[in-house]
Structure 1
């Protein structure tokens, strides 16, 4: 019961970050990414170029699940994964779509 209460307490912060990412411009989106994701994008074409590949999504939250330091937020047209860091919640994957029985396929992620 306590774990569920903690997850519920984290939900507003998780959703705020997900919605800001979904509606943000590339420069703002990079600041919402986990450091490992920024590093992976910088190693390719750069963070701003990478996040530009994720179309803006509606800010209507369809569902949120929080498991300790990890979370998933479903928006119309996108699913985002987040992790709690020492500086707050950060996006670890975006532009994600279910892939049948396999893991989600994401446009932006660390690896």
Structure 2
């Protein structure tokens, strides 16, 4: 009896993992679209796809509006190389850049961009929120 419960529990967990992986796959086109839009956008449009906490962090760090800060920030544009979604978080690698996103109540928003891998250390990002 115990064995069958473990088997059922394992089957339920496996089914849930497959379902979540399927949901992540459904989100990939959207996060890729947002990251590509951000990379190619003008300063105002970039601010529109930033997470609110990231906008606040940028404005506080630079003592200027988000649009003014974005006008001075040079970030590479590039095609999508790969993407990954983990629940409410996503990472999109573009040619020359890595962009991080979070799902908000209003959709996917950029939380960091201009990011470079530092191996085992956290990414170094030119633009990031808290």
For Structure 1 versus Structure 2, the TM-score category normalised by the shorter chain is over 0.9
In the alignment, which of 77, 81, 90 is matched to residue 57 of structure 1? 77
Answering whether residue 38 of structure 2 is matched by residue 21 of structure 1, we say: yes
Q: Which structure has greater helix proportion?
A: 2
Distance in structure 2 (CA, Å) of the matches to 1:109 and 1:81: 9
Ranges in structure 1 where 5+ consecutive residues have no aligned partner = none
Per the alignment, residue 81 of structure 1 pairs with: 100
Corresponding residue for 2:20?
3
Query: Is residue 92 from structure 1 mapped to residue 119 from structure 2 by the alignment?
Result: no
2:58 to 41, 48, 55: 41
Confirm or deny that 1:69 pairs with 2:84: no
Task: Report which of the two structures shows the higher radius of gyration computed on alpha carbons.
Answer: 2
The alignment's C-alpha RMSD in Å is 1.1
User: What's the TM-score once normalised by structure 2's chain length?
Assistant: 0.80
Contact persistence 1:50–1:108 (CA under 8 A) = no
Whole-angstrom CA distance in 2 between matches of 1:54 and 1:66: 26
Q: Which runs of 4+ in 1 moved over 6 A?
A: none
Structure 2: give runs of 5+ residues left out of the alignment: 1-17
SS at match of 2:35: helix
